[in-house]
Amino acid sequence: MKIVETTNQLNQPYAPHLVVREFSLAPGKEWAPQTAGWTLILVGSGTGYWLRGQARVELESGMALLVAGDKAGRVLASCLNGMLLHFFTVMPDRLPGLITQGEQDLLKQAERKEAGLRLVPANHPAAVRLGELCKLPQQVGLRFRLNLLQLMVEIFGGDLNLPAGDQLQTDVKERLRSFLQETPPAGLLEISFEDLARITHCTPRHLSRVFYDVIGMSFREKRAEIRLALARDLLATSQAKVVDVAFKSGYKSLSLFNRMFTRRFGISPGRWRQKNGGIKGVVEQRKPRARVAVNESRFRGLQ
């Protein structure tokens, strides 16, 4: 199953994740990826350029490029021919059980490094394998998604290797970083701040300042960010009712969930699901029971 789209469909705010999409870019036309996370693009055919500011990089058939989603760059097709592009996105915040907080930090550092762009020549094993995957008639299933994720990891190479975790940690910041490197973001939902203070051998008051220095937000704000990311993913990929999404995301009150979600994204959960093309939820209210038709004449006869 291949997803073939027009340029009007490509830049939805919440694009499919680990799903190969393809489209044709007419000669002289441009396309700017606007997805979250990272986008791996393969030039299936044709030639063109990657433009960012005054920089211009020539793109040939078979080449691939890995782009940070928030970077202001665009693909320009040659005026002599169009381009057939295949691409998929990897959103680290939607892999909480697979990518640790430390690895997420490394990916954020990579966004700042090299302007968030990595070029892959056509003869690179990752580009060759991506081309083979894009030719498969069935592009679904866990194995296929894991292959896509592995391609991105191979392109990053050693840049995603975490420092050794068995070094003696004497500083609170280092102990906190060590814990985050080994813990998926969702793991922060399973412990209290007091538990984290005991793990890092620190007082809660001091840990509060250290956590903000390392993460850039408070422990409470980070947990709220993780819950809302989980809720957004459930809204986009499941048929769960909004109230069930709220509970699965760790909210004990539907009204609180609606208020927090709207404050963060500027739209209610239900409207967000409709706007971003997620799977429509099941009917929230019970349907009225069907009325049984009664033959009045027969009924009178029984009186």
pTM for this predicted structure: 0.58
CA distance 22 to 5: 6
Nearest to 41 by CA among 78, 83, 82, 70: 83
Portions of the chain given CATH number 2.60.120.810? 3-160
Q: Which pLDDT score is estimated for 119?
A: 87
Q: Which residue has better confidence, 193 or 102?
A: 193
Query: What one-letter code names the amino acid at 30?
Result: E
Q: How confident is the model at residue 162 (pLDDT cuts 50, 70, 90)?
A: low
Nearest to 67 by CA among 43, 99, 35: 35
Portions of the chain given CATH number 1.10.10.60? 221-275
Instruction: Extract the tokens encoding 176.
Output: 């906190």
Mean pLDDT of 76-80: 91
CATH topology of domain 221-275: Arc Repressor Mutant, subunit A (1.10.10)
| pLDDT per position as a tens digit, 216-249 | 999 999 999 999 999 998 898 888 899 999 999 9
Contacting residues for 83 by C-beta, under 8 A, at least 6 apart: 24, 25, 43, 44, 45, 46, 47, 48, 59, 75, 77
Among the listed ranges 31-40, 79-88, 109-118, 246-255, which one has the minimum average pLDDT value?
109-118
Q: Which of 32-36, 37-41, 162-166, 241-245 has the highest mean pLDDT?
A: 241-245
The CATH number of the structural domain formed by 3-160 is 2.60.120.810
Q: Which of 49-58, 94-103, 215-224 has the highest mean pLDDT?
A: 215-224
Q: How confident is the model at residue 161 (pLDDT cuts 50, 70, 90)?
A: low
Q: Which pLDDT score is estimated for 284?
A: 41
Q: How confident is the model at residue 154 (pLDDT cuts 50, 70, 90)?
A: confident
